[in-house]
A and B are shown apart, each in its own frame.
Chain A
Amino acid sequence: MGCTAADVVAALRAAAEVVREHRDELVRLDQAIGDGDHGENLKRGFTALLSRLDAEEPASPGKVLKLVATTLISTVGGAAGPLYGTAFLRASAAVGDAAELDRDAVARALQGALDGVVARGKAVVGDKTMVDALTPAVTAAASVDGSVAAVLSAAAAAAAEGAESTVPMVARKGRASYLGERSAGHLDPGARSTALLLRAFADAAAKA
């Protein structure tokens, strides 16, 4: 029992709602150590995504993910646009044209997303970025048995923990790195948004 294009679209609609709800929180986190636009940028991107999904429903999960990528790249801006855009683009490539995604395909998509983010942003674990949330998520997804929902749930839990681990870190990438030691003590907004998105996907999969 896999995850169809319609399931992926439903998960993205849920994610857009979560982004909207957490817009102010992400802005506050980014104001503390960045340029303060992360919440607004993501909200703009996912709002644009919703209108594109209203206009067309791509035929396969891979095509949905590709539509997400191109939409976020051209509407989010900042670092998050290219990073999330690349993540979804690589996730799309990882699942190919399959009509349904099984648990292995979902794990592959997450791995592809992580590889893309690392290639684009050159960050490693410990740099206080979304990589700190995505890396444990990928590891958890690959090591858990069961359904797509179980895989995503494990990934979301690991991402939340990974995001929390960024609090004491000193940023080594992105705008926050200019703050040096002063970046410690704050949750990284990119890691937080990654964890939020994965939680939204997991919750949607559990309902499907």
Chain B
Amino acid sequence: MTAASDPGRVGLVIVSHSDMLANGVAELAAQMAPDVSVLPVGGTEEGGLGTDYGSVVEALADADTGNGVVVLYDLGSAKMTAEMAVESADDPSRYAVVDAPLVEGAVAAAVAAQGGASLPDVAAAAEGASGETPAAAPSRPALHLVPDAVSAEILLTNEVGLHARPAALLARTVAELDADVVVRYGDEEANAASVLALMGLSAPGGKSITVVATGKDAGEAVRRIEELAERGFDD
């Protein structure tokens, strides 16, 4: 991460009825995004199942390191509590309560936030995360059709291929650069900005992917992904 891209990332708050669930989701999301503040809020003050308004209000303030906070929730009343907490904040526009699948949304949002995305983009990444099909985070045109594209075929030398952690590393690498990148495996294509879409390719170790990049840093993007693959994604 360069210092220039680090004025404070968008934070995440995970609101669940269950303390364990909130912590588990936060743990999973934070693994993909070491520099993002991911705060779990779960259970009642007495330690039972439920959502505690005061704790949510505190978490919103704590997670905000300057660029706002995206809030994910598990069930209906957690949503209501989150919305009330946002409405009562000094500046509600700093917070976005998103309707997203909790686990996939949190992971997608964390990776987007790690890459320095803005509040609306992190919210969109969460909302675009679907549990069903490879999700395209912010949708982009079919980049491989663009004439000045840089592309390379890259062998996945690590054992697990484009699994969760390697996919997150790849997405983070791309996010730092001014380039639009798609990754193709077989007939499937994924936006490299979306860790979920990359995982959805199910590209295994020992197989090759095709990377196509456009934009100012297209060449650098492809080079860095090649390096990453050569290092076996640091597995």
Contact = CB atoms under 8 A, between A and B. Distances in A.
A73 B52 CA distance: 9
Contacts of B75: 175
Contacts of A173: 76
A203 B84 CA distance: 31
Interface stretch (A1-9, A21-29, A80-88): A80-88
Interface in A101-123: 120-121
Interface in B34-72: 44, 49-54
A35 B49 CA distance: 10
Contacts of B44: 77
Contacts of A174: 76-77
B49 A82 contact: no
A174 B44 CA distance: 18
A78 B50 contact: yes
A173 B79 CA distance: 13
B53 A73 contact: yes
A120 B50 contact: no
B180 interface: no
A11 B94 CA distance: 39
Interface in B66-91: 75-77, 80-81, 83-84
- Give the interface size bracket for A toward B: 10 to 19
A30 interface: no
Given A73-B84, A86-B84, A78 B53 contact: no
Interface in A123-172: none
Interface string A63-93: 0000000000110011101110110000000
Contacts of A86: 84
B83 A79 contact: no
B50 A82 contact: no
Contacts of B77: 77-79, 81-82, 174
18 contacts: A35-B49, A37-B50, A41-B50, A77-B51, A79-B76, A81-B53, A81-B77, A81-B81, A82-B53, A82-B77, A82-B80, A82-B83, A120-B80, A120-B83, A121-B76, A121-B80, A174-B77, A175-B75
Interface of B: 44, 49-54, 75-77, 80-81, 83-84
Interface of A: 35, 37, 41, 73-74, 77-79, 81-83, 85-86, 120-121, 173-175
Given A79-B77, A85-B84, A86-B84, 17 more contacts: A35-B49, A73-B84, A77-B50, A77-B77, A79-B76, A79-B80, A81-B53, A81-B77, A81-B81, A82-B53, A82-B80, A82-B81, A82-B83, A120-B80, A120-B84, A174-B76, A175-B75
- State the 3 A-B residue pairs at the shortest beta-carbon distance, nearest first: A79-B77, A82-B80, A77-B50
